[in-house]
Structure 1
């Protein structure tokens, strides 16, 4: 019954948005109320869950989206995004520019959660789309595929690393297996899928990007532009490495954890960006403040929609849908690798968060590893793959992608949802194949 209620809730949400044209944020809150009531939650607990869902989502993503939007706007308005984009096009050629953005996204995404990475890459994605004369979505889907692949398969990304720690997997071996799986997964979910998405050619959302064409002397150098863009990545990578090699709770590890926190890392990058992309390019603080204001106002509704998705997700968690799925699966006699993927998949579809799905599934499967002698490294890949499958209306990344690329809900299903699902099945196939070959 809980799963039927979830399906009814999703159907109500789609009807409100697609047929009644109701604002997505309002639709998500209404749906969360209906699903919570149908799941048997009390009225007070429903409102509390919605408040907690909005608060926990915005507490993390609100600052990241705000800092990231301002940083991206500064990059776009000083010509840094144009410099990176044109250099990539020159080096790879317009025909292979999607491969260039996949490589860039792997570098950016190795230490960043999807939400952080896509915000940082937006100005580069939009600039490449304009100069290569292709729909923004075809570049964006390639970037998103690489970001999702790093999340599911590649330590030292926080998502994959967390699963590896739970399974007590070897980080280096997990990374090696992860690369073998992540590369074909990202290419299939990105550049290959992009061939079929050219019909979704929409204008870039107003105020998210500056279409001004800069002269050569007006732009910062490629090296400066790339290093500045990678500051959050570098700081988060240092924090991840610090956790592996430094003594727990030492002063040095605490310092690296602080500067490597996504919010702090983006804040540091933004402060440096104020100088490199602002003051050093001849802008005064009043002009920089105007840029920051326009950047934040451009993503205001996006932030509210994401908050609504967080409320819906929290209702599904607090109502016990995830636990219900676990009870259905336990006791089955199937491959541990497939079982880890299946549990993570069902939890992901039910409650939206890839991280929650992966960690929950890992906790369930840990005892099975100890008695089945299955490779913990391949279990990391299978669990990560399952956590990527079928993002939909209860996933914040779904709404971010929809709004950033100016898509309708059906178009988001046909692009973003399909992309992550392709990655999920390729990850499962890769884990099973490696298990058959190696073990």
Structure 2
């Protein structure tokens, strides 16, 4: 498959030029971030300028695309990341994470403490950033190490595995949210598959690998950490109850999952597009779903829209008027680009549908949802779910723990500062994506990739892995890869809602592998566990790689099953 693509590139000068532009843009992006130490936000904008100039875009149009790309992605991501950061900060400051960890330890017992740590990491890292969650829970690892005399990594690796898996696969952590939004994936399905793939992965990377590596790296607690301070900070009587924390933690996830399941089960029928001649046109009575038919006849084109009106199918017919001659010609070009009665690709369907609706004044209508379904869709939207979770955390955790309204406001303000960087980098990724679309680079590459039959899951994983290894940041790797992959998807027929969600996980998996010295998480682990660079590579780097490879294998396998 790859050799076929390379041969096609070599034979087609336009494709070769386009591929060079895309590849060199990624190379420039990595050089700017890794060697020149340019911030990822600025580097993505500069790479976008480069793609626009190399592809021959009008100079003024480039800035319009940058504005469009930034606004298009941030409308969703900025809201979700900001709300998720506040929710996580409230959970952290109220002692909720500590309460969750200590209760699990008590119920599992010291003998099964590694399982308690992997489950704790798995749950806590859903709303809390990985580095923050590690700072919160690491004292429990130290306490277990002091009590049992086992190496610190015996308990630390399971914790890191649990934190790493949900930080990578399960929204509302920023990475999978950003990718899901750029790809247009169903967030609830991403959560569902993220948990389904993630937990077995966490077990393999955590308790299983941890028991092995702790036999080779037998270090104890780093001397610089104060035992007395940690013991006082995590006193049991200062913590909220496990039940309260667990219910608040699961609240937004359950709401989003309910909405996702309901939207899939009660998905309204989309208006299908059929291109046919008068001789092959089916009668309205035989059509049992919304359908727009472009009928070729001797006089040109006639359009029929069979849509839902009041729950029933109704037929509307329109003969194209002569005053829209240019638009009629444009529609004719679209219709002539496909053979009558052939299955249309998603991109062709959408183009013909929109052109037909514009010409006729028809509106694409869908069955009206019942009030219960509307409420489920509203409450289960990530915006609403996180707002509800913030109020729940404020009242049932922060207020119950003695925080005043003013203190809760201060916590919210402090949570938004680090979120701002993530939001800006995400917006710049949206810019890069938009430039690839507007410059036609994405379309040309999409056609070549579709013809070459390279598996889109393999492609997504490899791109994310290469970007991750080269520049270190998982966030940048996810944003960059999503920007490259998203424009390819409309040209690929047959992708389901599950495929989009699993592609999100494949990209996240690639962005996780081989954490090394250019990753801030590498040094965070090294510091808290007192490891040398070599020991960190032998432990943390392997954990991240196990997570990435297992996540990819899980996503690829489910893509063939579902």
Scaled to the shorter chain, the TM-score interval is 0.5 to 0.7
* Cα pair 2:52 2:435 within 8 Å, conserved: yes
- The answer for the alignment partner of 2:439 in structure 1 is 319
- The answer for the alignment partner of 2:251 in structure 1 is 231
| 1:308 to 2:428 alignment | yes
Q: How does 1:16-415 map to 2 (within 5 A)?
A: 16-91=32-107, 103=119, 117=126, 119=128, 123-133=132-142, 139=159, 142-146=162-166, 148=168, 179=196, 185=201, 213-246=233-266, 248=268, 249-332=369-452, 339-342=455-458, 352=480, 354=482, 357=485, 361=489, 364-366=492-494, 387-388=507-508, 390-391=510-511
> RMSD of aligned C-alpha atoms?
5.0
**TM-score in terms of structure 2 length:** 0.54
CA distance in 1, matches of 2:386, 2:31: 37
Gaps of 5+ in 2: 1-16, 143-151, 172-176, 220-229, 269-368, 468-478, 526-535
- Residue 127 of structure 1, CA deviation: 2.2
Larger Rg: 2
* Cα pair 2:121 2:160 within 8 Å, conserved: no
Is the alpha carbon distance of 1:356 and 1:91 closer, same or farther for their aligned partners in structure 2, counting shifts above 3 Å? farther
CA distance in 2, matches of 1:84, 1:213: 15
* Cα pair 1:247 1:253 within 8 Å, conserved: no
Tell me how many residue pairs correspond in the alignment. Answer: 384
Whichever structure has more helix as a proportion of its residues is 1
- Residue 69 of structure 1, CA deviation: 1.5
* Cα pair 2:32 2:43 within 8 Å, conserved: yes
CA deviations on 1:211-256 (whole Å, 9 max, x unpaired) are 9823212211011001111111011112123224458522211111
**TM-score in terms of structure 1 length:** 0.67
Provide the secondary structure at the position in 2 that maps to 1:71. Answer: helix
* Cα pair 1:145 1:423 within 8 Å, conserved: no
Moved more, 61-70 or 123-132: 123-132
Whichever structure has more strand as a proportion of its residues is 2
